[in-house]
Structure 1
């Protein structure tokens, strides 16, 4: 017997509603990125080391558990070679650097501070390279600031300690390449599942707004800013995962072609959802069949989510035509309810499929090539004006200061404060603030959880078994939310510390919380007063790039341009990337200022308008010249748009212009009329920038402030 629709439980909708109602301190939240496999792997590695230590009666094996956990954190997704170098490199470097720091700590406070200074500076300098390298380097520096609290004065004491720690790292590597061995295409499958999950969430959010008949422009602008940016980022991550596939696993491989076709289908569905949301926003107050449209969008969301799960599970070539047909039927129903034809078109092939990865090369040659590229990047960025060099200096000074404060003040478990300072500091002021909030709030909640667990669990065996679910949750949720990651990381470290040196669990939890707060405060002071790198400095350039990219996309969609579908798709992707970057920069720059001034509000309006322009371009593409009854080019409209483009470009260059008269054009299709109105509004917002001086920064160009 079928369950009535109103009693059916949709877990995706439930999780989406839960994400919207999350606590304010949980800045980032993306449940689609939960990875139970990563959690189980790290939990097995860490718990096995604790149980082995319990069996051997050697409490030092808590360091093996920590090493196994950190090694799992250092795992860079991608090819087997990439994963091995990230995990193996971390194991070797953290053991050597950590042992050296422990020796320096045994020699005195000053040598220990110098060791921390060097390790933190080198870790910060790797921000000039890739995110994967920076992640490994920061973890190595973390090992150093933790091991500084284990001073050793002789090689006889240090070797067993380093050996136990290194054994935990090696065990995690062996586990990752045997029991948890990944197929070369597994990262691409996972990334594709995330892309389809984000598309499903985008469709679900449009359905929510349509079902509520929301005419609130702010709600629609927030939807466009958040959901479209997340979908665009997920699609780009999937594209990058496909590019990273080794050529030996991509050339002529059926699975690779399936994933490339799935990426092209995802791009087509994304473009349609943008156009549909634009139509729905304009028809919010007059739509007669809003409930029918909302149900259709929900069905599209479920279809996309199921297809993403199927992509992660195995081959889906036989289901691709059926998927396209179902999505096109649902899209036609939604378009009928919205009152405007919006055909969903798919590529017959995948013209924009990313090229396969580089040809495989011997390990030694590949390693040497990577080292040469790294040296070149370091040479290019070796300047006091470089953001990477400034970040390295900031991290080094702040982390060393934190160490000296806790060492000289005799703060118990002071390495937690040093570690918090190191991990919270980000390259810019705006990106440090949300991480600080999540670190502080997550530590407070985690300390309470640790105290509750410590009150109920007392024996070493029970502590070892309790660590398993905590490590599993920590690793599973680390990409979902940094706040959740810290929440479960806190009791994990508290229980592991209690395993090594049994004492008062409540004292451990409170010490962890207090030291985390101290580290957060020091990180915030450093990011504001030590060579601050402000996102507001590059905000104008990112907004200008977004304006130009979106106008290029709109221009390609106009009837008089007759651009090909492939050209429009390329420009739409570029516009989405540029808008996402500008919105991200704007959010970070907002955290650098207490007051939202007129400049900030104008930028918000500009970026919201650009999202609307992208939606209008999607509607114009739906009225393609090949469609029956499609609008033809209007010479007067084409002339007006060309003049608007030239006027906006002069304003962006700092040349003042007179506002053109607004005379209505008769018999103009709605989408083209909206495009003219949006261009006029964009010109007004840019011209309202007034004086170009936005920030107290030397050598600011004298141009219109955007």
Structure 2
């Protein structure tokens, strides 16, 4: 109960500034047809156009690039129109056919989100709609409403077409600046670091997605296509900086370098933040001066290390940090240069990019929704009650994959229906006439769509009366109708809760095994890709590993919302270990590559990948334990290997001490080996340690 109350409070907490302009635009899409219908005496036709526009706006994604928005709106217009046609087709036929068809549409809308709620609503509302319009007219008015929504959304494209792209660039730069400022300071706890990291990853993905929807030409003077690459370099080097800094601190080499590194990274973070903000003009001279002071401190430590007065591996690690800071500086300079005159793209039509592959929802939930809707349709068709459609609609839109989410949806749905039904009855009692009802609907539309992106609770409260009033616009809206609507909504919510409680209430637990095995396999593939150090391959494997971990995290979140369910704490810890492993993989990519056959790097990576693959197989077959390997022994040898190389390098430096000039700075084979071994040791240890931890937390015996 405490979790439900907290979720409801979060639903009504505004997460951002309401989009009042967008709300007025949506109100216009709904208000214009209603107004013309009232003035011309065609209430049903006007309401049908308005309902088509309202259902089409369900598929809109305000704030996203117009290419994505237009594609979504056109797809939703098509599915809503087809839903109306399907409803008209089955309405005259036998009721069992209608029951099966609506149930299949509801299941398909869950299985294939491209159909979604609008298609289910259009079929259901059409089937229960009162007679009055012919099927062709109904199809035409619905399509007209959808096209009206598309035209009004696109109408502002010439003057606002770049706003989504600029917002994406600003959000990505700000998120990376916050991550850089945190990563350059004393290492944060995972609880503080993980939200910053997640926000940065999401912002980079959103920026890539936004750019893919713009037609960018080489003739563009300030083409923004190079921004994601520069910001990605900042992200990768920041992750490596955090890992390497923690390793240097463990060597006990002193603390002066920390203060100077903090100053340099802090100035770089401010410069990056200023570079992407409107009107920002970052000054990098201060950053260059701070980096110079840090470089001088690193050179001083290197000198003491060569003299044997400081640990040589610490000097190597600080040298690697210095190179990483230089790379971050160049990336920030690139971002500042690209954003100096503002993000611009030539005036070209938006790209209608198709999704790479259809998004589907696996598991039992589509079947559960289909069965629930079939049951609701059977009960209501036999009842022969016009308002019974709200019973079916409530079941279809309230039943969620998790029980707690279903309870939340039911409460919001009942509350929204009560507000809409009672308010409409009051409006008509105080000021009878459809013009006043149109004004009330327009206010609900403006408030609902304006608050849609910043507070879901408000959207649920205002959107429920919209579908209710638009579909019944030409019918009497007295207190009896209000009571019937609320009663059917409450009954539909009760049926949704019953199905959520009885059908596969712990269905997410059954999917954990597959999710765990996929996460282990994907991280094994990531580790193995580090052997060849192909940046494109490592990036691809890293994204796949992060996606697999995200799917497992979603399953755990849903399991927490089931009655009496709770996600195993070991699997939560396993997700943290997997994220740390990915961080160490990025850190390893930042260090100089090893020479062929030099050191235990390849051996460690091979053994880590083998262990993760063996654990994944053990999870699938539910076999307790993992076959032994030599990973622990090889990890123990890492330190001895670096110490041996450091001793040999000191001997080499002593031999070169009598030579003239900068002979000690020559790049010898031994120097290359110590540069790689010392810089890679923290990342390799981290990869190995997190792999061991991940294996112990996910084996069947551990769970």
**Aligning the two structures, in what range does the TM-score lie when normalised by the shorter sequence?**
0.5 to 0.7
Whether contact under 8 Å (1:444, 1:513) holds in the other structure is yes
In 2: Cα distance, 1:98 partner to 1:325 partner: 64
Query: Given that residues 106 and 373 in structure 2 are in contact (C-alpha distance below 8 angstroms), is that contact kept between their aligned partners in structure 1?
Result: yes
CA contact (8 A) 1:39 1:476 kept: yes
* Aligned residue among 211, 222, 227 for 1:242: 211
User: Aligned residue for 1:672?
Assistant: 681
Q: 2:445 aligns with which of 466, 471, 475?
A: 471
Deviation, 1:197, is: 5.9
Deviation at 1:70, TM superposition (A): 1.3
Residue 517 (structure 1) shift:
2.0
Matches within 5 A, 1:433-444: 433=403, 435-443=405-413
Determine whether 1:502 maps to 2:502. Answer: no
Correspondence list, 1:140-219, <5 A:
140-152=119-131, 164-179=141-156, 188=165, 191-193=168-170, 195-196=172-173, 199=176, 206=182, 219=191
Gaps of 5+ in 1: 1-20, 311-315, 354-359, 693-704
Cα deviations by residue, 1:610-636 (Å, 9 ceiling, x for unpaired):
2223334455566x449xxx9xx9936
Q: What is the CA–CA distance in structure 2 between the aligned matches of 1:511 and 1:671, rounded to whole Å?
A: 66
Partner of 2:301: none
Q: Secondary structure at the match of 2:478?
A: coil
- The equivalent of 2:392 in structure 1 is 418
> Given that residues 406 and 414 in structure 1 are in contact (C-alpha distance below 8 angstroms), is that contact kept between their aligned partners in structure 2?
yes
Instruction: Find the residue that maps to 2:223 and give its secondary structure.
Output: helix
**TM-score under structure 1 normalisation?**
0.66
- Give matches, 1:580-619, under 5 Å: 580-588=550-558, 590-591=560-561, 594-596=564-566, 600-619=568-587
Q: Quick one: structure 1 residues 388 and 194, their matched pair in 2 at CA, closer, same or farther if it must change by over 3 Å?
A: same
Q: 1:94 aligns with which of 64, 67, 80?
A: 80
Looking at structure 2, the residues matched to 123 and 520 of structure 1 have their Cα atoms a distance apart, in angstroms, of 16
Query: 1:113 maps to what in 2?
Result: 99
Report the equivalent of 2:55: 70
TM-aligned CA distance change 1:636 to 1:534, over 3 Å: closer
Matched, 1:521 2:497: yes
- 5+ residue gaps in structure 2? 298-317, 339-347, 619-625, 644-677
- Within a 5 Å distance, the mapping from 1:315-326 to structure 2 comes to 322=282
Distance in 1 (CA, whole Å) between partners of 2:421 and 2:256 is: 56
Give the C-alpha shift of residue 544 in structure 1: 1.1
- 1:547 counterpart (523, 536, 540): 523
The 2-side partners of 1:181 and 1:589 are apart by: 46
Change (3 A) 1:298 1:663: closer
Q: 1:657 aligns with which of 608, 625, 628?
A: 628
SS at match of 2:124: helix
| Rg comparison, structure with higher value | 2
Report SS of the residue matched to 1:42. Answer: helix
CA distance in 2, matches of 1:604, 1:332: 42
CA distance in 2, matches of 1:682, 1:55: 70
CA distance in 2, matches of 1:290, 1:455: 68
- C-alpha deviation, 1:575, in angstroms: 4.6
Report the 3-state secondary structure (helix = DSSP H, G, I; strand = E; otherwise coil) of the residue aligned with 1:635. coil
Is 2:20–2:446's contact at 8 Å kept on the other side of the alignment? yes
TM-superposed deviation, 1:471: 2.3
Closer, same or farther in 2 for the Cα pair 1:539/1:408, shift >3 Å? same
Shift of 1:252: 1.8
Q: Which residue of 1 aligns with 2:220?
A: 254
Partners of 1:464 and 1:672 in 2: CA distance:
69
Change (3 A) 1:618 1:528: same
**2:605 paired with 1:635:** no
Q: C-alpha distance in 2, partners of 1:59/1:290?
A: 73
Query: 2: distance between equivalents of 1:252 and 1:103?
Result: 51
Alignment correspondent of 1:271: 236
- Taking structure 1 as reference, are residues 422 and 510 closer, same or farther at Cα in structure 2, changes over 3 Å only? closer
Distance 1:691 1:564 in 2: 34
Q: Deviation string for 1:634-658 (max 9, x for gaps)? A: 9367755654454444444445115
Question: How many pairs align?
Answer: 603
Query: What is the alpha-carbon distance in structure 2 between the residues aligned to residue 307 and residue 508 of structure 1?
Result: 58
- Cα distance in 2 between the residues matched to 1:87 and 1:253: 30
CA contact (8 A) 1:39 1:474 kept: yes
CA deviations 1:560-579 (Å, max 9, x no partner) are x8x47777656655554444
